[in-house]
Amino acid sequence: MAPALATGWWGPFTQLDDVVVTHVDLVPNETNEQEAWTWLDGEERRRACRFQHNGAKRRYVLCRASLRSLLCGALSCRNHQLALGSSEHGKPFAAVDRLQAPIAFNVSHSGQHGLIALAPRGRVGVDVEERAAQRNLDVLIDAVLSPRERADVMAASGRQKLDVFLDLWTLKEALSKAHGLGLSLDVSSFEIPPDIRNGTRSGMFRMPGMPEVAWRLTNIGTDRFAAAVAHDEEGL
């Protein structure tokens, strides 16, 4: 992939085979936000203006501008040639001069951290959650985890309980986003493999009902945030 066209509030985070993951710094910074604004097209600016909270607007603008710059570098195109869209279920795609580009990407942000995953083929999903207290943790545990996953969380204590939950949640969300069904996929209906639940950072996963597709699932979390990437084996 060619180098991106701008720097300042984002930089390389990790690379998993062909999947490149970039970290976006979402800390308030007027200079960065002004530069990022210049990368957005008209529709993106209108969308940004509809955000009622400054934090949400800032995260959208900085992530969107970073994504545009990264895609321009990867696709060797100019910003005005690039258009971004999404499928019926919210799966994003890029087009250059109105032709869909052969690249997969996904974006996630939480608090002061954003992650962008790019892959030259296959399907990719990324999710990040800042390691901050969740108001409705017990409700979320029941809503998104399987019985054995819930048992793993409940066996932990103190801060570790939150960390175990967030690791599982981001792994499931990355799979859901890579799959492309978004909210229509019940993440409590499948279970993260035991080896990954027990600490292995990466492994293969086959979703119930889709045994023909093998996903590479990787925990890329840090002490600041939980995060995960899912990429189908077809793209490896």
Residue corresponding to tokens 């960065």: 32
Residues 6+ apart with CB under 8 A from 17: 216, 231, 236
Which pLDDT belongs to residue 60?
97
7 within a domain of the structure (yes/no): no
- Tens digit of pLDDT for each residue in 169-214? 999 999 999 987 665 678 888 999 999 999 999 999 998 877 788 9
Condensed to tens digits (0 to 9), the pLDDT of residues 144-166 reads 999 999 999 999 998 999 999 99
Structure tokens at 72: 């321009």
> Taking the CB of residue 45, how many other CB atoms lie within 10 A of it?
13
Q: Is 183 within a domain?
A: yes
Burial 163-198 (b: 16+ CB within 10 A, else e): bbbbbbbbbbbbbbbbbbeeeebebeebbbeeebbe
- Which tokens in the block code for residue 117? 């995953």
Task: Tell whether 206 is covered by a domain.
Answer: yes
Q: 3-state class of 100 per DSSP? A: strand
* Total domain count, the chain: 1
pLDDT of residue 7: 65
Predicted pLDDT at 1? 45
CB environment 63-97: b (16+ within 10 A), e (fewer): bbbbbbbbbbbbbebebeebbbeeeeeebeebebe
The pLDDT, as a whole number, for residue 34 is 95
Asked, for residue 43, whether it belongs to a domain, the answer is no
pLDDT given at position 184: 64
Range of the domain at 139: 127-232
Give the residues of the chain that fall short of pLDDT 70.
1-7, 89, 181-184, 235-236
CATH number at residue 162: 3.90.470.20
CB atoms within 10 A of CB 211: 8
Do the domain assignments include residue 209? yes
Q: In this structure, is residue 150 part of a structural domain?
A: yes
